[in-house]
A and B are shown apart, each in its own frame.
Chain A
Amino acid sequence: MMEKLYLIARIADTRVALRSRAINSVVTVGIPVEVPGAPPHVAGLFALRSRVFTLIDPHVVIGMPAVPVASGQRVIVVDVADHGYALLADAIEDVCFIEAPETRVAGKLLPGWARVADAMIEHQGASLLVVDPSHFITLPALKAA
């Protein structure tokens, strides 16, 4: 059943469906601690239950300008390769079961989205991109270099 459970959120100005399996929790954060010298998509660090998480700004990963982090911002906490990360979300909409199958991405996406989107899914009369949160963690290699 877990396979069918999705988190619907607005990330980088786009509604997406995240597979719930990859998600740890959704929390609100205060002002994060900056990391001078880090790649641009690292929005900072914050602590949660004695653990330090790295805040990622998906806007930058998609190729848009970074957004300032407001206190009380909601973030999606994920674990990738034994490290804790959190994705800045514009809005968290819902957690729901979607019975429709995931389908191949049809149509041409912006390059930034094409890299992170795995599939598409139909939900309440709208098509959503299915994205893997781990794709937001790394910038395209050459861009980061």
Chain B
Amino acid sequence: MVQLQFLGRTGTVIDDLLNDFLAETAEILAEAGGAIVAWEADPADRAQLDAIFRLVHTTKGSSSFLDLPRITALSHAAEDALDQVRRGKRKANAALVTGVLAIIDRLHMLCSALGKDGFEPSGDDRDVIAALAEADSSADPGQLVAGVPLRRDDDFRGELQSWRSIRVPLPLLDSVMTGVTDIVLARNEFARMLRESGVSPAVIASFDRLSDSIAGMRQSVSQMRMQRIDKLFAPLPRIVRDLAQDMGKKIAFQTSGGEVELDREMMENIRDPLIHIVRNAIDHGIEALEDRVAAGKDITATISVSARQSGNQIEIEVRDDGRGMSPDALVAKAIASRAITAAEARALSSKDKLELVFRPGFSTAAKITEVSGRGVGMDIVKANVEKIGGVVELRNDEGRGLTILLRVPMTLTIISGLMVRAAGQYFAIPRGAVREILLENGDTVRIDRVGGGELATVRGEQYPLLRLEKVLGREASDDDDVDDRALVIVRPGQGQSYALSVAAIHDHEELVIKPAAPMIMATGLYAGTTLPDNGRPVLLLDVQGLVAVAAIDATETGRNHDQMAAAEAQANAARNAAQLLLFRDTNGRVRGVRLSVIERVEEVPASALFESAGRIQVQIGDEIFAVHTAKLPDAEGSLKLLRLFDGQSVLCYPIAEVIDIVRLPDAVQPSAAPGLIAGVVLVCGEPVELIDPFWLMAQYGALDDVSRPNQPLCRLSDDHDGWGGNFLAPILRSAGYRVVSDDDAADDAPDVLLCLTEDGASCAHVGDEIPMIRLRSAVAAAGPDDETVYRYDRQALLDALARRVGGIRT
């Protein structure tokens, strides 16, 4: 961010102009960064392009007025390039966007230097300007598209509008706000004194007029401080784009609820936490492409940031579909860093485990990366949010994603509140969340006890009933009159409502809300504190938090179980539907394989591959697997392998890169002969060769060398010269037999005997019930009845063994 240190200096008119320029440009650059990334996603969006053009044009105009040649030249170059796109002379592509972003970065740099030193540093910007021009080399300069409206008039519409607003220094705005707050507090106190002194109605009427205008004024001041949350979201697309590119991740970024308004001061306080959370999500949350494939997720990760208003609170939700957090990993990390002891760890609930991430100096990344883990941790995020009376919530779905919810008060200022009494003390409820107030024993209200819970039915509508005393853990006060008890129908958020039973309703008041101390906010019951007329502090209830603390379901929609079950079944079906992993083969072809046969994608150094026994194999960890490739890789570096698994054995298939996961099309054009390619399918109109895992596995099936208990045991008899052990045993083992010799202590009876001496008479085990094969050293058989097998006739030997034992795979 541009540091506007220069803002504090006041002096000449030029200084003031420069201040204005810097403040405006900082805003413009932040806005432009986001707009450009959005435009890159949808180059056909003419409105977006026009907006960017106007922003750059404004910067150029003001900088030339202030004689800032470098800034003028840079913005001119960007304006030029964008104008060509607008006129259809140039195509928008990634290179152009990167070029424009580079210029914006340079402008940022110049502006911060300008803010610090008060003058534009000298330097050369030809590099970025040339890069932008080069990005154009593919364009055809002669081509003119007719009929593209130039819309010159529109270009300056934005500028004209900006003349209608003025810039006010923030400290001035803040002092107006504090002033109004004090006026409201003084009025409240004055109102109390007037009531007690019993003055004439004329004085009261005059005071009421004053009250009304104060109320109107505080409304305007609150609005002055409100800004659309868009502003907070503006820099995020750029951050996501750059980071995702750096880290080789594919991320779709969405924001919603940008129209929600938030107090400016709140915005300042959550800017850094929000950026930190988004960076964290990209760096730690989103898995590498291969891991996403292995987890059966869409290769393009989604991060969404949404804002919504709920009562007088704003909820900002950052949701990613990455790996989530592992409570056990957090605990291990905390124990390793001596933040907690193992004994303490055992006492933690799973929620407590997740909360470990808020401990100072805690970073979940195994290694500190450049992006996050620079000592600014979630503890700072939490502290910043709590400072303004907010709450940070984690919703972890391990393996499926993490949602971080920031709940902050909409404003630190004044709200209209309903004062209620419970357990002998007063509480405030934000007026905006109150839908209706009813007397509890009125005719329209029916209260039923259902299985320990209570239900209020108001004119046929049902609401879960909360008794405020019970939620707060207090007893109802003896002074309460049963006839005073009232139901407040509260609507904490969209689609939610419940009935809050209180001892009595007091009145409405304009309340100045201040955040309560963190340990009070942490109860989840309160949204802040306020000082009403009587000068005694009152707690503002958190109408949303009450729902959570009381653990009731406040959603209005009746739960239709059939529908839910159907939705779940559908989701399951979608998950189980055949999916195709698209990848680029080492020969550059795009091929696909059913995702379900892929155990995972490995990345191994090229040196892990070796040639042995005429096959290429790879060592991964302690295991060795066959690799489907004709030759060892030429290049150094690393290599990606698809790990195919048929339930018993593993085969590695080298690929260049993973492209995507798509639904397997129904129509497959099968190939003529069985082979590596089972057929061809069309994916997005492009032919994709479908790998046949059956054929592949068949090629390598015999390679499985793991000794299994159900493998037949082959005993070598009379192996006097060691030929059996040295020459024969390896072949037998690779064919799937276990081999013992006379010297081994035989634990179990052999399935077959191999007698290595030709004269059967001397074979030590004649007469046993075990089938026997005799080997001879002569090539030719002694006669037609000779059942011996020539000892170097591998195939005949294996066949003979198979016949004797049966059921051996070859």
Contact = CB atoms under 8 A, between A and B. Distances in A.
A, B assembled together: yes
A37 interface: yes
Contacts of B529: 45, 52
A129 to B, nearest CB: 24
Interface in A103-142: 137-139, 142
A85 B517 contact: yes
A33 B424 CA distance: 11
Instruction: Give the interface size class of chain A.
Output: 20 to 34
A83 B472 contact: no
A83 B525 CA distance: 18
Interface in B524-557: 525-526, 529-531, 535-539, 549
**Which of B347, B383, B536, B538: most chain A Cβ within 10 A?**
B536
B794 interface: no
B456 to A, nearest CB: 22
Contact of B537 (A42, A47, A144, A145): A47
B168 to A, nearest CB: 25
B425 A47 contact: no
B519 A39 contact: yes
Interface string B170-193: 000000000000100100000000
Contact of A47 (B383, B523, B535): B535
B523 A37 contact: yes
Contact of B536 (A33, A82, A138): A33
B352 A83 contact: no
Contacts of A47: 531, 535-537
Given A33-B536, A50-B185, A42 B520 contact: yes
Contacts of A144: 519
B514 interface: yes
Interface in B607-632: none
Contacts of B537: 33, 45-47, 52
Contact of B423 (A36, A39, A52): A36
Nearest to A46: B537
Interface in A37-63: 37-39, 42, 45-47, 50-52, 54
Contacts of A145: 348, 352
Interface string B212-251: 0000000000000000000000000000000000000000
B742 to A, nearest CB: 66
A79 B523 CA distance: 21
B140 interface: no
Contacts of A83: 387, 515, 517-518
A81 B536 CA distance: 23
B753 interface: no
A64 interface: no
Nearest to B517: A54
A138 B352 contact: no
**Which of A85, A139, A145: most chain B Cβ within 10 A?**
A145
B395 interface: no
B474 interface: yes
Interface in A5-55: 33-39, 42, 45-47, 50-52, 54
B767 interface: no
B533 to A, nearest CB: 12
Contact of B344 (A46, A137, A142): A142
Contacts of B460: none
B347 A81 contact: no
B519 A50 contact: no
B182 to A, nearest CB: 7
**Which of B347, B518, B549: most chain A Cβ within 10 A?**
B518
**Which of B514, B518, B520, B537: most chain A Cβ within 10 A?**
B537
A126 to B, nearest CB: 33
Interface in B465-505: 472-474
B519 A81 contact: no
B516 interface: yes
**Which of A34, A37, A82, A144: most chain B Cβ within 10 A?**
A37
Contacts of A46: 537
A36 to B, nearest CB: 4
Interface in B348-366: 348, 352
A33 B525 contact: no
Interface residues of B, number: 33
A4 to B, nearest CB: 30
Nearest to B532: A47
Nearest to B182: A50
A37 B538 CA distance: 14
Contacts of A45: 516, 529, 537, 539
A54 B520 CA distance: 9
**Which of B425, B517, B537: most chain A Cβ within 10 A?**
B517
A47 B189 CA distance: 13
B366 to A, nearest CB: 25
Nearest to A82: B387
Given A52-B531, A81-B387, A36 B474 contact: yes
B517 A33 contact: no
Contacts of B525: 36-37
Contacts of A138: 519
Interface string A67-100: 0000000000000011101000000000000000
A45 B531 CA distance: 11
A85 B530 CA distance: 15
A27 to B, nearest CB: 15
A86 to B, nearest CB: 11
Nearest to A138: B519
A47 to B, nearest CB: 5
A85 to B, nearest CB: 7
A112 to B, nearest CB: 17
A54 to B, nearest CB: 4
Nearest to B469: A36
Contact of B514 (A35, A36, A38, A52): A52
B187 to A, nearest CB: 12
Contacts of B526: 35
A47 B525 CA distance: 20
Interface string B365-390: 00000000000000000010011000
Interface in B440-471: none
Given A36-B473, A47-B531, A52-B531, A81 B383 contact: yes
Given A36-B525, A45-B529, A47-B531, A54 B516 contact: yes
B501 to A, nearest CB: 15
Contact of B472 (A33, A36, A42, A81): A36
Contacts of A39: 519
Nearest to A37: B523
B11 to A, nearest CB: 33
B531 A33 contact: no
Nearest to B426: A33
**Which of A39, A47, A82, A139: most chain B Cβ within 10 A?**
A47
A38 B523 contact: yes
B387 to A, nearest CB: 5
**Which of A50, A51, A138, A142: most chain B Cβ within 10 A?**
A50
A145 B530 CA distance: 27
A75 B289 CA distance: 59
Nearest to B347: A142
Contacts of B517: 42, 54, 83, 85, 137
A86 B791 CA distance: 96
Given A46-B537, A52-B514, A82-B387, A38 B520 contact: yes
Nearest to B538: A33
24 contacts: A33-B425, A33-B538, A33-B539, A35-B526, A36-B473, A36-B474, A37-B473, A37-B525, A37-B549, A38-B519, A38-B520, A38-B523, A42-B517, A45-B516, A45-B537, A47-B535, A50-B182, A50-B185, A52-B529, A52-B537, A54-B520, A83-B387, A137-B517, A138-B519
Given A37-B523, A50-B531, 12 more contacts: A33-B538, A36-B423, A36-B472, A36-B473, A38-B523, A39-B519, A45-B529, A46-B537, A47-B535, A83-B518, A142-B344, A145-B352
- Rank and list the top 7 A-B pairs by shortest CB-CB distance, nearest first: A36-B472, A45-B537, A54-B517, A52-B529, A37-B523, A52-B537, A83-B517
